[in-house]
């Protein structure tokens, strides 16, 4: 009984500490300088245990042109709110990591476009130290989400092992981040410009649980299927929430990837897009475009070749991921609330 009482007391103290931390909208270092800024809306949601969904900002600055990027960012945040969660778009502005952006900050980032540095884990310290503006990728968004206690992050697609990655060692830091940061990532899988089988092998090596939503096959971003089976299938938001909750409670220390296929009504153009991808890959090889330059070139070229169909599909799947991710976040917050009440009884 004493042990149970101590555990309950510890849980209550932890809760009070969390509430105190989140009502302060910034995280200061020992010198009193704010290192991270949390918006009042996100701060309040975290303090009372509401569902919060982290969103990346690279898709805003590097994913599409202005003003389409701003329009999409607003629509994705609206979808999150409509489904009972609080959106927390993450970016670095003037050297300060921001968790949750105002409309004005979203517009600023959208207008900056590629002038905002594409920021992965390796770039964070540099962007902060130089007081720069950074659009966070999957890896950087996961880091900041974990820092403030957001367990779930929605994106379009993650990075992976690039074609011929066994020779070039061109492997996205998204994969290693999934192996070291306990945040669940909701995405439409990976694009077929990448080596999907090797990407899944690499995730297995990193100890990352990969689940597919309502399917046994890993989706390939623009298309519902890649030909690669997944080790885990989940069919409802509750299934996903229980999986995430178990991963966190067991303190496995790894992230989790939940792959959601593109909606059927938008997958019809998949064959056209796949054909364009193969053409773009050949052109990239002929022009010796590699490394960080490869993905932006390929996506822009595919959009040209498909007459904008790939951008429309991209936006559709991001919105769908936001819908599914929000429902998962709400289910997870309900599980946590039940556990908390049970621990206090």
For the annotated catalytic residues, the residue numbers are 56, 191
Q: Is 102 left (phi over 0), alpha (psi -120 to 50) or beta?
A: beta
Residue 262 and residue 267: Cα distance in Å, rounded?
6
Tell the residue number behind the tokens 């994969």, with chain if given: 175
Identify the H or E element spanning 162: none
DSSP conformation letters of 43-110: HHHHHHT--EEEE-SHHHHTSS-TTHHHHHHHHHHHHHHHTT-EEEEEEEETTEEEES--HHHHHHHH
Residue pair 38/25 in contact by the 8 Å Cβ criterion: yes
Residue pair 26/38 in contact by the 8 Å Cβ criterion: yes
Show the CA angle centred on residue 301, arms to residues 300 and 305, nearest 5°.
120
| 123 token code pair | 């770039």
Residue 173 and residue 158: Cα distance in Å, rounded?
10
């Amino acid at each position: 009984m004493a042990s149970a009482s101590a555990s309950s007391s510890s849980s209550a103290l932890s809760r009070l500490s969390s509430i105190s931390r989140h009502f302060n909208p910034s995280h200061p270092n020992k010198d009193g300088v704010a290192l991270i800024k949390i918006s009042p809306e996100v701060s309040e949601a975290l303090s009372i245990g509401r569902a919060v969904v982290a969103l990346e900002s690279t898709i805003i600055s590097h994913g599409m042109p202005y003003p389409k990027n701003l329009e999409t960012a607003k629509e994705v945040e609206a979808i999150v709110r409509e489904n009972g969660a609080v959106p927390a778009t993450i970016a670095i502005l003037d050297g300060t990591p921001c968790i949750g952006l105002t409309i004005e900050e979203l517009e600023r980032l959208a207008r900056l476009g590629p002038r905002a540095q594409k920021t992965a884990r390796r770039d964070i310290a540099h962007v902060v130290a130089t007081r720069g503006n950074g659009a966070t990728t999957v890896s950087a968004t996961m880091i900041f989400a974990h820092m403030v206690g957001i367990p779930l992050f929605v994106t379009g697609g993650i990075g992976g092992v690039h074609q011929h990655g066994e020779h070039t060692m061109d492997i996205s830091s998204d994969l290693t981040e999934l192996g070291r940061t306990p945040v669940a990532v909701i995405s439409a899988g990976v694009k077929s410009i990448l080596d999907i089988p090797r990407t899944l092998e690499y995730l297995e090596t990193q100890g990352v649980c990969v689940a597919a939503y309502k399917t046994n096959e890993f989706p390939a971003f623009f298309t519902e299927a890649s030909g690669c089976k997944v080790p885990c299938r989940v069919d409802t938001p509750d299934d996903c929430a229980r999986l995430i909750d178990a991963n966190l409670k067991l303190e496995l220390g790894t992230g989790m990837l939940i792959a959601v296929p593109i909606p059927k009504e938008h997958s019809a153009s998949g064959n056209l897009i796949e054909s364009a991808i193969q053409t773009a890959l050949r052109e990239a090889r002929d022009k010796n475009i590699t490394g960080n330059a490869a993905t932006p070139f390929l996506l822009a070229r595919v959009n040209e070749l498909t007459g904008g169909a790939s951008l429309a599909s991209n936006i559709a799947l991001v919105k769908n991921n936001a819908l599914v991710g929000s429902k998962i976040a709400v289910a997870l917050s309900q599980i946590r609330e039940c556990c908390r009440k049970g621990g206090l009884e």
